[in-house]
């Protein structure tokens, strides 16, 4: 079977079996379905994730089902791995304990948002968590004023940061460039 046909069948299966009417958030994508009626509502900071669906080209960021799903996974009322503390917030996962959120989740949230205030808030949170190293970590303890972290240098997250800055340079240059350049979207041409 051709890859495009398989992809279409997978998407159709997701639309038919994994779009669920959540009692709080309305129609959302479930994280897992087992084919027997069992559902899992959550998200994990790793990519692929429900939060990253537009980033992966599965759906548009303004799709109503995605927007409901996004609200669910970015809330502790819908995602047991969404953590919010005094010093940091974001999605964690079963990998690093129940106190640590991944900066990567906020980078994905930035790329899947059109809200300037939200983007600025998340970008500021991520920038403040380098513990003076200038590098992004795997996860941050959301309650730690010293930004206790796992992995002092997590290349995946640092790569996602670069991807996020390129995205903002194209979509929202006014959020990252000085006034002289803030109205001209940056054109990124791979391989040029």
Rounded Cα gap, residues 99 and 141, in angstroms: 5
Supply the pLDDT for residue 1: 67
Q: Which residue has the tokens 């917030």?
A: 89
Spans of the chain below 70 pLDDT? 1, 191-192
DSSP 49-89: -STTTTTTTSS-TT-HHHHHHHHHHTSTTT-TTEEE-SS-E
Q: Return the pLDDT at 105.
A: 98
Please give the class, per CATH, of domain 3-181.
Answer: mainly alpha
Q: What pLDDT does residue 130 have?
A: 84
As a whole-number percent, the residues of the chain with pLDDT over 70 amount to 98
Contact status, residue 122 vs residue 158, Cβ threshold 8 Å = no
The pTM for the full model equals: 0.92
């Amino acid at each position: 079977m051709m890859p495009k046909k398989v992809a279409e069948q997978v998407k159709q299966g997701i639309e038919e079996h994994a779009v669920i009417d959540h009692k709080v958030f309305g129609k959302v994508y479930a994280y897992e379905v087992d084919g027997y009626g069992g559902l899992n509502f959550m998200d994990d900071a790793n990519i692929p994730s429900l939060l990253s669906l537009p980033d992966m080209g599965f759906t548009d960021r303004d799709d109503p089902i995605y927007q409901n799903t996004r609200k669910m996974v970015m809330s502790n009322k819908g995602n047991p791995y969404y953590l919010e503390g005094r010093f940091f917030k974001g999605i964690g996962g079963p990998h690093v304990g129940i106190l640590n959120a991944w900066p990567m989740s906020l980078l994905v949230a930035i790329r899947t948002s059109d809200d300037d205030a939200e983007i600025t808030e998340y970008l500021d949170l991520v920038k403040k968590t380098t513990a003076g190293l200038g590098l992004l970590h795997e996860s941050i303890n959301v309650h730690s004023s010293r930004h206790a972290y796992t992995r002092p240098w997590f290349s995946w997250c640092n790569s996602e940061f670069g991807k996020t800055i390129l995205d903002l340079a194209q979509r929202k240059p006014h959020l990252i460039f000085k006034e002289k350049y803030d109205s001209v979207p940056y054109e990124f041409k791979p391989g040029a």
